[in-house]
Amino acid sequence: MAEKIKVNIAGMDYTLTSELDKTQIQQIAAYVDKKIKEVDNDKLTRENQLLLAALNITDEMYNLLIKHKKLKDEAKEPIEKYPRLRDDYQSLIMDYEKVKADFEKSKDDFMESMKKIDDLNSVINKIKQEIENKDKIIKSKDNNLKKLRENLQKLQDDNLDLNKKVKELEKDL
């Protein structure tokens, strides 16, 4: 619905009717007022000032149109390539998700392997401890066996000596 909006341009009040937002119309009017003040000169008639401001605004608009056309032309190729790039991007996302899932599985497998290794190391350490304990027992038994052999040897030697003495005594008897 068209709305009446009062604005002041170059010192004159105007009532404009527009369907645009009131704030937008006021900003446009302020811009036109600014452009007229930029060319305000006592040597120019009011009409010439308005014409010069209109030419400056038109020049800006024309330059913006040229810039817009140039940007539109520059954007044409990327816009045309967008569906392919989007498809490539989606493909990369899917590849990433697959690699991520593979990585997570590998990480889980690795962690499981590490747990098994830790468990095996624990078993190995227990076995090593048992071996060390058995080695100590064997060394102790070896020492005892050595002492027993030495004692046996001594007893055998003593026995031989006694047997010799007995034979001598028997002879004497």
Instruction: Give phi and psi for 39, each to the nearest 5.
Output: -105, 10
Share of the chain above pLDDT 70, in %: 100
User: What's the mean per-residue pLDDT of the chain?
Assistant: 93
Residue pLDDT, tens place only, 145-156:
999 999 999 999
Query: What number of other Cβ atoms are within 10 A of residue 92's Cβ?
Result: 10
Give the per-residue pLDDT at 141: 96
Residue pLDDT, tens place only, 62-100:
999 999 999 988 888 877 778 888 888 899 999 999 999
CA pair distance 114, 110, nearest whole angstrom: 6
DSSP 10: T
CA pair distance 62, 100, nearest whole angstrom: 52
0.75 exceeded by pTM: no
Task: Specify the 3-state DSSP secondary structure of 152.
Answer: helix
